[in-house]
Amino acid sequence: MAQQQCEVRIPDNVLPGQKFIATTPDGQAMEVEVPFGATSGSQISFFYTPLGNCETNEPLPTVVGQPVIGQVVMGGSGGISPDSTIGGDQEAASMGWVLYAIGWFMCCCCGPVGLIFWAAVPCMFICKSKTEQRNHPKEKVVAMVNCITCAVCTVLGVLVLVYIIVLMATGSVEDETCEADVELNDGCKTCSYSTSGEYFGRRRYSRCWN
């Protein structure tokens, strides 16, 4: 039997890309996906195979239940099929892993440059619409991995930089002062003072130059 076309109103609580259950004139419960660009309250059409002859004067199908998540799309012209959604998710996830590997390579060779590649993946994911984010679970995982790696490496890099700065500052201070344990570490070093008590700095005994 040939398919027939029916129209249904989009419920108020259903967004583009989501699905809801509609009842056809002959009593069938059909899963309908809201196409992108459609708004709540507007009419969309879908095709179904009737159980019997569909009278033209029968009422339009009514919407029942809440939005559902399914794999089979029964209608909704202009919507995105599950196959294209899965393919787009896989492609985006693969690209994210490639950038993740490039980030490690650049981090080992060029230091902080690798952070740019790790930060780019979550930024691209955030720039997508909420519907695309929900339909791309694999890309979401890759974005989280890149984001965490970028954050951890950034914190470690800052800590190492602070440690180097403190170490250099501490060394310069020690050169300007004379501590009692200097000669214990190096017997050739001595603290030189003038007769008036002015500190000259660290010096080495003349015998140590021989």
- For residue range 99-114, what is the model confidence (pLDDT) as tens digits? 999 999 998 888 888 8
- Closest among 99, 92, 100 to 128, alpha carbons compared: 92
- Closest among 82, 132, 35, 68 to 8, alpha carbons compared: 35
Same domain, residue pair 90 and 133: yes
Range of the domain at 195: 177-210
Q: Give the Cα separation of 96 and 188 in Å (integer).
A: 59
Would you say residue 23 lies in a domain? yes
The number of distinct structural domains making up the chain is 3
Same domain, residue pair 99 and 18: no
For residue 138, with 0-12 CB atoms within 10 Å meaning exposed, 13-18 middle and 19 or more buried, which class applies? middle
Same domain, residue pair 149 and 192: no
pLDDT in tens, 142-166: 999 999 999 999 999 999 999 999 8
All residues at 6 or more sequence positions from 142 whose CB lies less than 8 Å from its CB, including other chains: 92, 93, 96, 97, 100, 121
Would you say residue 112 lies in a domain? yes
Predicted TM-score (pTM) of the model is: 0.46
Q: Give the Cα separation of 2 and 178 in Å (integer).
A: 99
Would you say residue 145 lies in a domain? yes
Same domain, residue pair 146 and 181: no
Task: Label residue 197 by pLDDT band (50, 70, 90).
Answer: low
Question: What single-letter amino acid sits at 169?
Answer: A
